[in-house]
Amino acid sequence: MQNVVLEKKDWLSPVEVNKEFGFSVSTLAKYRMSNKYLKFSKIGKYIKYKRSDIIDFLEAHTIETVEA
């Protein structure tokens, strides 16, 4: 059995964001159209999200629960 090392890319397409973080592609498109929430880069026709921006977004929107 071979050891497989998966290199995590710094920049992800909407489909890759969906597979790794669970955001639907249509939700990402809505976020882009409203120019809110997630930062993205557009180079020609290609949309890319920076992994660290997605992680920062998730951490900023974490809700702490209080135990009774």
68 pLDDT tier (thresholds 50, 70, 90): low
Residue 54 CA to residue 18 CA, distance in Å, equals: 11
Spell out the domain ranges in the chain.
11-60
> Is the whole-model pTM more than 0.85?
no
The pLDDT tens digits for 39-52 are 999 999 999 999 99
Residue 24 CA to residue 14 CA, distance in Å, equals: 8
The pLDDT tens digits for 51-60 are 999 999 999 9
Q: What average pLDDT does range 34-39 have in this prediction?
A: 90
